[in-house]
A and B are shown apart, each in its own frame.
Chain A
């Protein structure tokens, strides 16, 4: 079996070979192939810049792998600022002994994910470290995008307004549930797939529709609960959510029932939350209907003055509770 060796990160002939045969092959574009010390970019107007490091165990899961995450995650961070993704950097930290086929699979997934927008990988780095120094493969990507929301205020956690509607773009918790089920000590099987996806096409359509999007955030680690809490605290408003309106798939709910979790705390990698005036809900939902990944989109609540700084869940039988910010590791309940 062909595996990655320390020499392939050493900067010499083996490194060059890896870069040319793998990374240039899949990511190649005019800027990257210049092979300079830094990429030279032309930017116009306001730009957004973001970075994120990716580590996931196992590397490959149902519905994707670390490569899909590393590209979609950074593209989505740009999209959530209303920025069209343009340029990405990409750094690999590889544990020696990683099968070449695994790395190639990851790189191929990244290239496929990139095709969903006009973004290109324009610079990169490869390190190979001794066994045990990293867990198989870590990836860092940074991204630059051009802000498109020229006519409206940029979406922000500070912008939520009393009376706004809160929308979610799809059913929640799939990525977190898939990764948890895939851990080798869980021994759980289902057809569930991660929601990992690139969200810019949906966001672009929402912007082009001229909607006044007040806040936009992908519900990654910490899930829906973390985003809503951050919004409620930052804008000092109450977010009242109707529990039975939140879309959750059977498989995700099943895992939650089994282990005592709540889907609100699970990570998503292609699902976002949006706050906008109530009067624009119908138009927004119509946009969501045009895309395959947002068919389950729904209005789940509203912004009010009830308990500023808190997220309140309304149960279908008339009681209410605080939806708290997830704390600590997700550990199953005992009985």
Chain B
């Protein structure tokens, strides 16, 4: 019996010949486009794939990417990060969160800096570790600062379920889970928005199903292709979008069919609905206030809701981004990162002024990190290969 090798899982999706063949087909098909195609990849994971693998260099000039709002770290408003810091500063407290949330600056400082001052702040690899930490520290209050789109919400719901089953009295939840469709609708509804097709998120769709984009496809009459995260996935999705445009279709198609269904993971959805409900509004960094665009704990679970329990130390005063920051325009496709006056000067990944520079999945951050070659001159010979 042959065993499954790691390469089997990704090699086919990074096959140079396949990527080049798809690039060739996209070039051929795009010649028939009557107007430029501006595709928003909603998810930060796709932004990362595009920039890391240089896929934008393989496309014809009449197809461009507009990098969407789908990075949970980037969209977190400063006042929510200030919440995390205020919670971490409470005596006898352990604050838990995920990955690069640690380095994102709030209005005055970041969790990383607060940790250096002595607060107990930990990045979790798995949200379920929160249970163990709460059990091992019965004399401390443990706050899980939960972030992420639909993808990570079921994990938080699972932790809540387990915490209740274990009757843990020292584990609290600060819920910052946000929703993709309301944010995308907010961008598309702006009259200046240039987006005319969407690459739908991969793992959000695994949970919620491709169905969640139906209202967007109908209202804005644009092709939506739910894509996987590998380079071949993204290239094939672009080809599918071009074909839809040429055939005057505006449908939801699933390229990432090895993981995404129409209905999604219904068990996960039920679990989320048991504990969480839509929040009346949530202020997105770069986009502003959007109604029903995030989740909160239901009233029945207020006793574990950090926003209720520790209300006294939390302020809801909105804090604006830097006035020179044009993240909102970048998200709508009206501007590119290099159009911003502070890009790479006052604003860089070590000192981000705006949301898009914050995490590696943000558009400005990705341009800053990976695109220096493209911003200067691309070597003629490589360009020729890329478009062959």
User: Which of A's residues lie within 8 Å of B, judged by CB?
Assistant: 185-186, 250, 253-254, 257, 259, 306-307, 310, 312, 314-322, 324, 327-329, 331-335
Contact = CB atoms under 8 A, between A and B. Distances in A.
A189 to B, nearest CB: 14
A321 B379 CA distance: 12
B149 interface: yes
In order of increasing CB-CB distance, the 4 nearest A-B pairs are A319-B54, A318-B385, A316-B16, A318-B386
A334 B99 contact: yes
B135 interface: no
B55 to A, nearest CB: 7
Given A250-B7, A310-B372, A335-B149, A319 B129 contact: no
Nearest to A188: B125
A322 B367 CA distance: 10
Contacts of B35: none
A322 B72 contact: no
Given A253-B6, A317-B58, A333 B361 contact: yes
Contacts of A259: 125
B376 A307 contact: yes
B357 interface: no
Interface in B358-387: 360-361, 369-373, 376, 378-379, 382, 385-386
Contacts of B147: 334
A330 B125 CA distance: 12
B148 interface: yes
Given A317-B23, A319-B54, A335-B152, 6 more contacts: A250-B7, A254-B6, A317-B231, A332-B99, A334-B101, A335-B72
A334 B201 CA distance: 14
B160 interface: no
Nearest to A240: B379
Interface string B135-167: 000000000000111011000000000000000
B201 to A, nearest CB: 9
A298 to B, nearest CB: 18
B73 A334 contact: yes
A322 B371 contact: yes
Most B CB within 10 A of own CB, among A250, A254, A316, A321: A321
Contacts of B57: 318-320
Contact of A324 (B20, B48, B73, B369): B369
Given A324-B370, A331-B102, A318 B73 contact: no
B98 interface: yes
Interface of B: 5-7, 9-10, 16, 19-20, 23, 45, 48, 51-55, 57-58, 72-73, 98-103, 112, 123-125, 129, 147-149, 151-152, 203, 231, 349-350, 360-361, 369-373, 376, 378-379, 382, 385-386, 388
B255 to A, nearest CB: 18
Most B CB within 10 A of own CB, among A185, A306, A310, A312: A185
8 contacts: A185-B129, A307-B373, A318-B388, A322-B371, A329-B112, A332-B98, A332-B123, A333-B100
B151 A335 contact: yes
Nearest to A322: B372
A319 to B, nearest CB: 3
Contacts of A334: 72-73, 98-101, 147-148, 152
Nearest to A250: B6
A332 B129 CA distance: 15
Given A321-B370, A334-B73, A315 B54 contact: yes
A83 B105 CA distance: 45
A186 B124 CA distance: 9
B103 A328 contact: yes
B54 A320 contact: yes
A57 B354 CA distance: 35
B53 A319 contact: yes
A257 B6 contact: yes
B125 A335 contact: no
Contacts of A324: 369-370
Contacts of B349: 327
A147 B16 CA distance: 45
A254 B10 CA distance: 10
Contact of A319 (B7, B55, B73, B124): B55
A182 B58 CA distance: 40
Contact of A317 (B16, B48, B152): B16
Contacts of B101: 334
A333 B99 contact: yes
Contacts of B100: 331, 333-334
Contacts of A320: 54, 57, 373, 378-379, 382
Contacts of A310: 372-373
